[in-house]
């Protein structure tokens, strides 16, 4: 049977008053991406490296978490990008943290480091290889990073995990597919669904923020 991600009733958590204060002010393009995430169940953010795709996704996720609208943030990356971490020292969990460090660093930039580390320690932020999504019902917030390396079969598997209260954000660059067969990437096919199904939107991020992301 599917395992529901939410471990605690949202109704039991006291919602904060006012807006959540982050260290960085979003641009209009980033605000538009964030709006699409709030208004849809599934969103695909695509663009070249440095266009703040994952940054915006994590910002939206943290905002919903601190507003008590979700209980958990899950971040996945496809296995093709994890092949080289087997040479790193430490446990499997240590290796995953090292590989996901750029995403965690984004969170440090926008919010208090101590709070982010506490969320990771308590599994309110959880990082895992893509294959671990099987058997899980996503009723909170799922970010699939480097989604250009998600195969069509894997994409179907991930989308089938979406629960009634969940959200999924896919971030990637269609020009950086690392799969041996480019045609197997499911990200471009997902983007092409924009306007054809309900509760799904895609957005190409254009402005480059590499100097600070």
Torsion (CA) 64, 67, 71, 72 in degrees, nearest 10 = 40
Segment 78-98 mean pLDDT: 55
Average pLDDT along the chain: 84
Provide the pLDDT for residue 64: 96
Q: Which DSSP symbol is given to 209? A: -
Give the 3-state secondary structure of 121-138: HCCCEEEEEHHHHCCEEE
H-type helices in 69-160, by residue range?
92-99, 101-110, 113-121, 152-159
**What are the φ/ψ torsions at residue 200 (nearest 5 degrees)?**
-135, 135
Distance of CA 115 to the CA centre of its chain: 19
Segment 61-76 mean pLDDT: 94
Provide the pLDDT for residue 88: 45
pLDDT at 140 > cutoff 80: yes
Q: Which residues contact 7 (CB under 8 A, 6 or more apart)?
A: 71, 72
Distance of CA 8 to the CA centre of its chain: 21
Segment 107-113 mean pLDDT: 93
**What are the φ/ψ torsions at residue 185 (nearest 5 degrees)?**
-65, 130
pLDDT 10s digits, 14-57: 666 667 889 889 999 999 999 999 999 999 999 998 899 999 99
Provide the pLDDT for residue 113: 93
Provide the pLDDT for residue 83: 47
* Beta bridge mates, 204: 46
Say how far apart CA 124 and CA 98 lie, in whole Å.
Answer: 18
Provide the pLDDT for residue 213: 42
């Amino acid at each position: 049977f599917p395992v529901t991600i939410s471990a605690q009733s949202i109704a039991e958590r006291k919602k904060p008053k006012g807006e959540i204060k982050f260290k960085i002010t979003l641009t209009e393009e980033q605000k538009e991406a964030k709006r699409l995430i709030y208004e849809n169940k599934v969103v695909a953010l695509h663009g070249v490296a440095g266009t703040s795709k994952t940054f915006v996704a994590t910002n939206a996720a943290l905002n919903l978490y601190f507003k008590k609208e979700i209980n958990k943030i899950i971040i996945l990356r496809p296995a093709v990008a994890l092949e080289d971490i087997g040479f790193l020292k430490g446990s499997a969990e240590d290796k995953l943290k090292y590989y996901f460090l750029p995403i965690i660093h984004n969170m440090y930039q926008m919010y208090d480091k101590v709070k982010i580390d506490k969320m990771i320690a308590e599994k309110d932020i959880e990082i895992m290889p893509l294959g671990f999504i099987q058997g899980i019902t996503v009723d909170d917030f799922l970010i699939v990073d480097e989604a250009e390396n998600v195969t069509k079969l894997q994409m179907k598997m991930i989308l089938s995990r979406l629960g009634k209260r969940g959200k999924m954000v896919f971030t990637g660059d269609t020009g950086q597919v690392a799969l041996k067969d480019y045609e197997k990437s499911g990200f471009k096919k997902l983007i092409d669904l924009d306007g054809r199904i309900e509760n799904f939107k895609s957005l190409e991020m254009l402005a480059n923020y590499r100097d600070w992301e």
